[in-house]
Amino acid sequence: MARLPSIVLILADNLGWGELGCYGGGALRGAPTPRIDRLASEGLRLLNFNVESDCVPTRSALMTGRHPIRTGAMQSVPAGLPQGIHPWEITLAQLLSAQGYATAIYGKWHLGDREGRYPKDRGFDEWYGIPRTTNESMFTSSAGYDPEVVPLPHIMEGRKGEPARNVKVYDLEARRQIDAELTTRTKEFMRRQAKAGKPFFAYVPITQLHYPTIPHPDFAGKTGAGDFADALAEMDYRVGEILDEINALDIAADTIVIFASDNGPEFRRPWRGTAGPWTGTYHTAMEGGLRAPFMIRWPERVPASRVSNEIVHVADLYTTLARVAGAPLPGDRPIDGVDQLDFFLGAQEKSNRQGFVYYIKNELRAVKWRNWKMHLIWEPEPNSGPNHLEAPYLFNLLQDPKEETDVHTSASWARTPMRRMIHEFEQSLKAHPPIPPDAPDEYVPKG
């Protein structure tokens, strides 16, 4: 049997399309990103990698291969209530574990914050990180915060088959330190598995550049361009540390490295990010919310220095990595991710995906198809008030990347395949009703 490759999947948090040097940012944002830029040059860099509206739904799509409207993981809910992905879902970690992979997550989970729904219950052998989100690190320094009303946020640790435990309070000081800790633990995990000769899946959902976007003390003031740039420089350094460890272990040839972001850029000031040429941020259906950085390196398998504007969706990673591991997909539920391995390997120039439907929570907002985009609801900035359109807006994204000129009167033909996509997806939801967001663990989906 051929050796299964190890997989390192680094997922940045709210890293906009325009932040990295290889996407036109870097020095223009006050922080060159040489390590990530080099990684991009060593494999395939996508210009049209698409995610969901914000942290929870994107991570759900990654872990289940299904749009979050199906899984019920459409948004974050208050701590202690059922949130994240339902235990009925089969995660990417479960698929890989069943194929003999050692699995670990170091970072932000955001797909369940109680026993039965922690990462160590969902296919990961070990976990260190936060169950929910980074802005909770601001709780303890907020005026009037009452831990008897809202529990203290913690960095947690867990192992398969054991209860998870609180390690320390996640306050602003811990927030500055956490990505360094995640990197150290990732390196140690890779060393253990390399020594054992076992393939591994290291999922590393780091916390930068989510607000509060503040750097490790070693990087404070490093760029001279403020906290945001310092945090970007730190992120580049942490990725470089992981890549250096892979090289030191002499496993680069047998290791797939993926670096991506879960969302469009942070929109909260003073930590406002950038999507480069695209309009909008996360929490919108604008291209700035949908498109995120993505690169994949697999030496001698994925051709180097390749750049593509073909459409890929985050759900595709589930299906693609399952094929890499020889793992069968679940056959009792719709899987929205499509297999992109041949495209990634350069065996074909075109993606296996022509488009996708885009929901925010339970509301269909937009559809992408080839180089076209149709908005059914218009909200270019978060909280600007969604406008339900009587006649959908239609944009040609090659001619109009900022989505400024509606061409539905002159190019209405392009709405036909998108309307067909909507109909087919809605029929699928009828045949396989979505899991309610508040479904208890014992709930069994119908259809």
Out of 67, 86, 110, 313, pick the active-site residue: 110
Per-residue confidence (pLDDT) for residue 1, from 0 to 100: 47
Measured CA angle at 34 (ends 32, 36), to 5 deg? 110
Is 22 catalytic? The answer is no
What pLDDT digit, counting tens, does each position of 259-282 carry?
999 999 998 899 999 999 999 999
Handedness of CA 318, 322, 323, 327 (dihedral sign): negative
Tokens representing residue 271 in the block: 């930590």
Is 335 a residue whose pLDDT tops 60? yes
Is 110 catalytic? The answer is yes
At a CB cut-off of 8 Å and minimum separation 6, what does 389 contact?
Answer: 375, 376, 377, 378
Nearest to 30 by CA among 238, 212, 233, 180: 233
For residue 212, cis peptide bond before it (omega within 30 degrees of 0): yes
Is 44 a residue whose pLDDT tops 70? yes
What pLDDT digit, counting tens, does each position of 336-363 carry?
999 999 999 999 999 999 999 999 999 9
| 3-class secondary structure, 130 | strand
Within 10 Å of residue 441's Cβ, how many Cβ atoms?
Answer: 13
Q: What is the DSSP letter of 80?
A: T
Per-residue confidence (pLDDT) for residue 167, from 0 to 100: 98
CATH architecture of 6-142+152-344: 3-Layer(aba) Sandwich (3.40)
Whole-angstrom distance, CA of residue 374 vs CA of residue 418? 8
Mean pLDDT of 226-254: 98
Percent helix / strand / coil, the chain, rounded to 5: 30, 20, 50
Q: Kindly report, as residue ranges, where domains of CATH 3.30.1120.10 are found in the chain.
A: 355-431
Per-residue confidence (pLDDT) for residue 84, from 0 to 100: 86
CB 309 within 8 Å of CB 353: no
Per-residue confidence (pLDDT) for residue 79, from 0 to 100: 58
Out of 55, 86, 216, 313, pick the active-site residue: 55
DSSP letters, 200-260, are EEEEE---TTSSS----GGGTTSSSS-HHHHHHHHHHHHHHHHHHHHHHTT-GGGEEEEEE
pLDDT band of 3, cuts 50, 70, 90? confident
Is 380 a residue whose pLDDT tops 90? yes
Is 238 a residue whose pLDDT tops 90? yes
Q: Kindly report, as residue ranges, where domains of CATH 3.40.720.10 are found in the chain.
A: 6-142+152-344
Strand partners of residue 9: 203, 258
Domain 355-431 has CATH 3.30.1120.10: yes
Is 332 a residue whose pLDDT tops 50? yes
Mean pLDDT of 54-76: 92
Is 78 a residue whose pLDDT tops 80? no
